[in-house]
Amino acid sequence: MFQFKQFKIEQDKAGMKVTTDACIFGAYLPVEDKKRIIDIGTGTGLLALMMAQRTEARIDAVELDEQAFQQACMNIQQSNFIGQVQVFHQDIQSYAKEHLQRYDLVISNPPFFNNHLKSSKETKNKALHTDTLSFDDLLDAAKVMMADDGTFVVLLPEYETSLFIDIACKKEWKLQKRFVIRHRKNAKILRIITTFGLDESTLVEEEFVIKNQDETYTEAFARLLGEYYLIF
């Protein structure tokens, strides 16, 4: 169990656990002035709850895996945001075809391993591997669901980010922001948050460092996660 300031995340049934990079992603997401948000592959419901804490927007969360879906439902039901977040047990490909709702913000921390050795745990396989959700399918579903002036934000490792950007550009998505996350200054890239839209804009690039050389958290990390982590 992971305790935040305004909610807690039970994670014993979900393939993907709470991670530092996911928490950075949740705190980074641009929820201001958004009215409808969708979280694709919500897992434990972490990102949906982090966004709910900072916005009054209606948040839909979609999860294919049965155990993760049940875990997300429980975490949301035990929070103060139960009336704001709704979880759907469905693959996003079907959801995009069946729901006519258009979203101001579409977000995803998607599965990213392709042709890698798999875990013996099926729930972890579904969470980490692209078998059930390819980058092509994710981009197509996001385009169907997103409002014309909306934003699509994704968290991936460095190599997978480059693949994702290539596919997105071929589908006429426009890369608007790259937010590079490192454990320490000059360390290898941990994750990259990319922001896409349908309109051309000047690319904004930022770097974010989690820890100082003495292992203390950076001021930037403390500012970003201050609303969530109990240690701040």
pLDDT tens column, 55-94: 999 999 999 999 999 999 999 999 999 999 999 999 999 9
Distance CA 177, CA 132 (A): 27
pTM of the model: 0.91
pLDDT tens column, 176-220: 999 999 999 999 999 999 999 999 999 999 999 999 999 999 999
* CATH code, domain with 63: 3.40.50.150
Q: Any idea what the Cα angle at residue 179 is, between residues 126 and 60, rounded to 5°?
A: 45
Q: What is the pLDDT of residue 15?
A: 78
Is the residue at 232 inside a domain?
Answer: no
pLDDT tens column, 166-178: 999 999 999 999 9
Is the residue at 231 inside a domain?
Answer: no
Domain tally, the chain? 1
- Domain region containing 182: 2-225
Distance CA 216, CA 50 (A): 23
Contact indicator for 106, 151 with CB cutoff of 8 Å: yes
The pair of structure tokens assigned to 140 is 């197509």
